[in-house]
Every structure is written in C-alpha cells, then in structure tokens.
C-alpha cells in the first residue's frame, strides 16, 4: 500500500484564509482571564444594543414578514461592531480557536479556556444588558408593544422542544460564522461591513437561535414579567442552543473549511544532527489521522462544555433552586431573593469560578 498523502488542490485562497484563522485562534487562546472576560462582556453588550434596536423598530409592525425583515436589516450592526471593533463572541470562538487546534498550533485545553472565558463574559454582559434596558433605563416602557414583544420572545424561546432549539441554533451559527469567515477573507473595512451584514441579516430575519442574543433577550423578558424562570431559560433554551451553536461553529464551518484547505497540520522539524528538538515547523497536508483525532476531541469538548456550563447551571437553578416548575401563562409574584437577581448572581459566580480554573490550568501562554 502506498504511503503517498492524498493531494489537495489549492482552492480560492482557502489555505491562506485557514492560516490566518489559525493565527487568530492562537492569539485568542493566549488571552488572560481578565482580558477574555472584558472582551466577552463587550461583545454581549453590542448584541444587546442591536437586539433592542431590532425590537423597537419592528414591534408595532403588523405584518409578520415585514417585522422580521426590519429586525434582520438593523441587527447586524452588533456583529459588525464585534468583528471590526474587536470583542470575544463565543459563537465565533466555536470556529476560530478549534481551527488552530486542528492545525496543532494550540491545544484543545486552551480552546476550552477560551470557550469558558468568552462564554462567561458574554453571559455577564447579557444579564447586565437586560438590567440596563429593562430596569435601569426603562427605555422600553413598563407596558405597551415594546415590553410585550420582549416578554413574548422570552416565552416563545423557552417553550421550544429540545430538537427544534438545537437545529435552529445550528443553522444560526452556520450563518454567523460564515459572516466571521467571510470577513476574514478581506482586509477592506467596507467589504467586511457588507460581508458580515448579509449572513447576519439572514439568520436574524429568519428567527434562528443565537445563544448570546438569548442571554440578553430572555433575561430581559424575565425582568419585564414574562412567565419564565431562570432555570427554564438555562435548561430549556440555553443548553440545546449552545449545543447547536457549538456543533455548527466547530464542525459545519471550522472543520469543513479546514478539511477543504487540505487539513494543514503544523509539525516540528527535528534537528538533522541529533534527531531531537525543533528547528522550526513545517505544514503537512492531508493528515487523516489528525482529522479523526480532531473529530473525536471536538465531540468530547462540545459535549463536555455544554454539560458543564449551561447544563450544570440549568440543573442547579431549575431543579435545586426552583423545584422544576412548569412554564405558566401568568408570572407568579416574586418570592424571595432568587426571583430576579439571586439566581443570575449564583450562576455568574459558578461560571466565573469555572473560567478562573480554566485560565489557571488550561491557558497556554
């Protein structure tokens, strides 16, 4: 049997794009605990403003088709600010750092550090954004079409079956990470603007599920009085949506484009004199053993991350703190400290502890 590697034809600048994505992934995995938390917080705030804009420009439109169209038109400003301005969005990180790991330029544990840190920063930003828009500013009012739209969205999202939430989330980040990927194919700011806008417009107008958007809009609905608990938000929506978002970013975008670029893997060049040590690195094309390894580790990381973060927090809030309540048509009166701010603070503390531990043991400098 021949040991000759399969031949890959360079296609449309893919190898160069994947190389650039690998560079970005390495840099992301080196971010410190404070950096990644702050950048994650900023990303979520940008999406908070974009989502609020989408609601106030569409809530009073009677035609559902036009309403969804208007939402899609204005929302992309959030992702444009993140990509061009610089911030850490978990759904983009579901694609970029794993590509660096597939290329053997960083470790999968460093990818997990990046995921946990950016996710935690995004969650804190989403909760703060909900407080800012609903409670602090009262910009949507206390009744009327804007606040009712927020409550309706929260109930609808937490009422989705697990499978529907998963597939909507997969389709969502397939488009979101397409926007990130397309933006990485050009250096022109104007071109980046339009390349980000079209896929983002598509996902938001259709109504797919984006976990970081949901970190704002569902808590906003809860604070506005929607009949949804924090545990239901974490378990019924965020868990399947994170799973679908991660599968799309890692496998549907990152791995498929990495494979199409020839499965490049960076391997050390051994010293000619001793046969040991490294005198640099060479890129090996067509390494199927690394493909199978990346698939296996990617599956484990995806499942482990989903179970550990939204899953673990959801179980804590829904079963232990709330006693597994059903979604009701009327929100019950607030009882105790857990009804509005207690549970989010507990969940944030849980996420921050995990982020600090991940930064301590998994971060590669």
Query: Residue 281's beta-bridge partner residues?
Result: 268
Which carries the bigger pLDDT value, residue 332 or residue 66? Answer: 66
Tokens of residue 220, six digits: 């906003």
CATH code of the domain containing 46: 1.20.1080.10
Q: Residue 278 pLDDT more than 90?
A: no
DSSP 294-358: HHHHHHHHHHHHHIIIIIHHHHIIIIIIS--PPP-SSPPPP-STIIIIIHHHHHHHHHHHHHHHH
Q: Give residue 327's pLDDT.
A: 60
Q: Give residue 336's pLDDT.
A: 35
For 113, 119, 142, 264, the CA distances from 225, given in Å and listed in that order, are 35, 26, 10, 51
| 334 assigned to some structural domain | yes
If pLDDT is split at 50, 70 and 90, which confidence band does 283 have? confident
Largest CA distance in the chain: 77
3-state secondary structure of 267: strand
| 83 assigned to some structural domain | yes
Q: Give residue 335's pLDDT.
A: 40
Q: Residue 272 pLDDT more than 70?
A: no
3-state secondary structure of 282: strand
If pLDDT is split at 50, 70 and 90, which confidence band does 148 have? very high
| 8 assigned to some structural domain | no
Q: Are 244 and 170 in contact (CB under 8 A)?
A: yes
If pLDDT is split at 50, 70 and 90, which confidence band does 270 have? low
Give mean pLDDT, residues 270-279: 51
Q: Give residue 12's pLDDT.
A: 72
Which carries the bigger pLDDT value, residue 315 or residue 9? Answer: 315
If pLDDT is split at 50, 70 and 90, which confidence band does 361 have? confident
Q: Are 181 and 254 in contact (CB under 8 A)?
A: no
Give mean pLDDT, residues 295-310: 97
Work out the percent of the chain whose per-residue pLDDT is above 90: 76
If pLDDT is split at 50, 70 and 90, which confidence band does 1 have? very low
Q: Give residue 280's pLDDT.
A: 60
Which among 132, 329, 350 is positioned nearest to 228, based on CA atoms? 329
What's the total number of domains in the chain? 1
**Cα end-to-end span (Å), the chain:** 42
Computed on alpha carbons and rounded to an integer, the radius of gyration of the chain in Å comes to 21
If pLDDT is split at 50, 70 and 90, which confidence band does 17 have? very high
Which carries the bigger pLDDT value, residue 149 or residue 266? Answer: 149
Q: Is the four-CA dihedral 253, 258, 262, 263 of positive or negative sign?
A: negative
| 97 assigned to some structural domain | yes
Give mean pLDDT, residues 141-167: 96
Q: Give residue 334's pLDDT.
A: 39
Q: Which residue has the tokens 């550990």?
A: 308
Q: Residue 4 pLDDT more than 70?
A: no
Q: Give residue 324's pLDDT.
A: 72
Could you read off the pLDDT of 176-226 as tens digits, one per residue?
999 999 999 999 999 999 999 999 999 999 999 999 999 999 999 999 999
| 9 assigned to some structural domain | no
Expressed as residue numbers, the domain containing 58 is 14-361
Q: Give residue 144's pLDDT.
A: 92
| 5 assigned to some structural domain | no
Give mean pLDDT, residues 52-57: 98
If pLDDT is split at 50, 70 and 90, which confidence band does 80 have? very high
**266 — phi, psi (to 5°)?**
-90, 120
For 27, 50, 67, 190, 244, the CA distances from 57, given in Å and listed in that order, are 37, 11, 8, 25, 28
If pLDDT is split at 50, 70 and 90, which confidence band does 343 have? confident
Q: Give residue 128's pLDDT.
A: 97
Which among 200, 207, 249, 210 is positioned nearest to 78, based on CA atoms? 200
User: How far is 149 from 56, CA to CA, in rounded Å?
Assistant: 9
Which among 80, 53, 79, 54 is positioned nearest to 69, based on CA atoms? 54
Q: Give residue 340's pLDDT.
A: 53
Give mean pLDDT, residues 125-143: 95
| 65 assigned to some structural domain | yes
- The pTM for the full model equals 0.91
Mean of per-residue pLDDT scores for the chain: 90
Q: Are 67 and 225 in contact (CB under 8 A)?
A: no
| 99 assigned to some structural domain | yes
């Amino acid at each position: 049997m021949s040991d000759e590697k399969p031949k890959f034809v360079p296609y449309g600048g893919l190898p160069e794009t994947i190389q650039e994505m690998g560079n970005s992934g390495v840099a992301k995995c080196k971010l410190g605990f404070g950096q990644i938390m702050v950048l994650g917080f900023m990303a979520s705030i940008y999406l908070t403003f974009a989502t609020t804009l989408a609601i106030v420009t569409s809530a009073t439109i009677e035609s559902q088709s036009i309403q969804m169209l208007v939402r899609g038109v204005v929302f992309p400003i959030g992702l444009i600010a993140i990509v061009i301005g610089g911030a850490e969005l978990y759904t983009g990180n579901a694609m970029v750092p794993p590509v660096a790991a597939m290329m053997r330029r960083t470790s999968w544990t460093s990818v997990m550090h990046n995921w946990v840190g950016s996710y935690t920063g995004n969650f804190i930003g989403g909760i703060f954004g909900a407080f800012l828009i609903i409670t602090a500013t009262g910009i949507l009012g206390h009744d009327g079409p804007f606040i009712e739209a927020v409550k309706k969205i929260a109930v609808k999202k937490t009422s989705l079956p697990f499978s529907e939430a998963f597939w909507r989330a997969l389709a969502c980040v397939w488009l979101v990470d397409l926007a990130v990927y397309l933006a990485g194919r050009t250096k022109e700011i104007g071109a980046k603007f339009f390349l980000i806008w079209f896929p983002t417009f598509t996902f938001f107008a259709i109504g797919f599920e984006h976990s970081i958007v949901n970190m704002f809009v569902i808590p906003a609905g809860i604070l506005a009085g929607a009949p949804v608990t924090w545990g239901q938000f974490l378990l019924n929506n965020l868990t399947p949506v994170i799973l679908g978002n991660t599968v799309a970013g890692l496998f549907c975008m990152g791995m498929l484009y990495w494979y199409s670029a020839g499965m490049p893997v960076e391997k050390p060049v051994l010293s000619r004199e001793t046969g040991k040590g490294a005198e640099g690195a060479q890129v090996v094309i067509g390494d199927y053993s690394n493909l199978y390894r990346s698939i296996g580790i990617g599956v484990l990381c995806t499942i482990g991350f989903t179970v550990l973060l939204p899953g673990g927090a959801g179980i804590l809030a829904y079963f232990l703190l709330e006693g597994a309540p059903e979604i009701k048509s009327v929100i019950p009166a607030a009882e105790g400290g857990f009804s509005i701010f207690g549970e989010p603070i507990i969940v944030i503390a849980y996420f921050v502890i995990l982020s600090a531990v991940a930064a301590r043991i998994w971060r590669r400098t």
